[in-house]
Structure 1
Amino acid sequence: MLKITMFSKADSVKGQGVGSAYRELMGLLRTHWQDDFEIKVNRYGRSAISHYHTVNPLFYLSTFMPNRGRKIGYVHFLPETLEGSLKLPRPFQAIFNRYLISFYKRMDHIVVVNPTFIPKLEAYQIKRADVTYIPNFVSKREFYEMTKPKQLKLRQQYGYDRDKFMIIGTGQIQDRKGVPDFITLAKRNPDIQFVWAGGFSFGRITDGYQDLKKVVDNPPANLSFPGIVDRDKLVDYYNMADLFLLPSYNELFPMSVLEAFSCGTPVLLRDLDLYRAIIDGYYEAASDVDEMQHKIDQLRANPAGLQFLHDKAVLASQDYSEERLAKIWHDFYLQQAKEG
């Protein structure tokens, strides 16, 4: 039995995608490969593979310890992707950026969730041969499509109008996620119910905190901020919505999009190159807030267009299913163990 140690503090901050990706992978390994892999978490004993999910300083120090086996680093972000997320004093940001790259260079092998990150890692002198692309995924046990009557019942249960067109966004409330554009669209469309499920996971150091907090505390009548929603309740929000909108400016492989796909929710995203590399053809794209408005108007007036996006979401959820990724992770760990 292959011994794998996971190093993660991803659960220490609620409402972030890194934690969701970590929980999904742990669930996959325990469901599919419990007889093949012995999984431990944050233990410092002998291990064939040490898989680092977060970049905590103690984990960095552990990479210098003996018996760590093959060191695998999970790249969920790079220095440039943190812009618009956290507002740190420039000297501290520079120090953290150097630390982050140093952490990645301590790894024997890197896993990225988006192939567009491979050339960026190469620019930091990390060899392409030492990087593997493995996409994120979500479990159908947690995120699934409900019947129409159930969806309408949920709206009543949560206090939303059963008949209004409803748009949902999820994730941290921050500038990088495009939340200001989400707010703008809500103000432009008072007859549409807008809901953003998420919160200020990093508090006052969140970029744009002051301005966004004012709106969260006093939103327009048609804009709801339920806060950080427990993962087992997020499925309700995706099912209540007619459309999922993520106006984010910078992402890796957002778990929220996969969650929406898995629930059959039509998806509208900002037109980003990185999406084309991983989910091209499964979503509607818009370059800015005006085009988002145009696409929303089109979809509201065209139920067949919404149904088409629903069907695309279902196909996407099959491509990024737990079953398909289970074998990919199994083969990856076995190969890494051979190279250790």
Structure 2
Amino acid sequence: MTRYLVVRLAGAAATLLAVLTFVFVLVRLAGDPVRLMMPDQATAAEVEAVREALGLNRPLIVQYWDFLTSALGGSLGDSLRQGRPALEVVLERMPATLELAFLSFAIGFAAAVALAATAEVAGSKRLRGLFLWIATARQSAPPFLFGIVMVLILSVNLGLLPAIGRNSWLSYVIPVLTISTFEIALYLRLIGSAFDEMREADWVRTARAKGVSRPRLVLRHMLPNALLPVVTVAGINLGVLIGGLVVLETVFNWPGLGRLIIDSVNNRDFPVVQAGVLAIAASFIVINLAVDFLYAALDPRVRLA
């Protein structure tokens, strides 16, 4: 088990280093932030003075080394626009993104489990097919388009819910509805496939022969086994969800990390971009480590492998 944990931690550290390197190179390919910050009438000497003050006149390898050492020390520089530590700016926006991602994930996953279990307890292929068809039809519409339609119906036409912002619990309804309904199809297919494999298993037939009721068989025995292979996919998908809310946060004017990164890219505020991407990458890595450890705890065969 110890070797398993060490290997996973080493892989996480290597992934984080690769992300740091990629972000450092990418943001510097976007253009000169000093030219964007300075007014058009600024002289070459003034531009150079600001560049020197920010340390952007040094060789890239030196900037890269300083960036790595500062990142390991918990400092990612100051925002070029706000004059505050970039990490502080990012951490202010992080809760809004995490709330939206975790709430949408939890509702989508719970709904998929409930629908799959209901269809299996009922023993109806038509019901399973109906649930899957509806979920797949929803997934065929891009989230941003579905979100805009929901805003038009529920906010503009009916006036039931706020269209943008994060001012009350009602503000969560449309974004969470948009994201969670998109997630249902994925988990519904995975759980349904697991049920299909177990339905003719020897231990299931034995339980039926012993007179175990169908609801008890499904909920107490089949469902826990069906969820085991879904754990890994769910963890990866949650990490992707946290990093993939950029467009939706823009659509709903959600004050989260994705919108902050978009604004910072437009403003060439690369310390904030670096801090934001690093925060998303760190969240993804932590979630995947937690899933790996959970899976190893649930399935001893993973540790042995």
Q: Please give the range of the TM-score, normalised by the shorter of the 2 chains.
A: under 0.3
TM-score by length of 1: 0.20
Select the structure with the greater relative contact order (CA < 8 A; seq sep ≥ 6).
2
Q: Highest Rg: 1 or 2?
A: 2
Structure with greater helix share of residues: 2
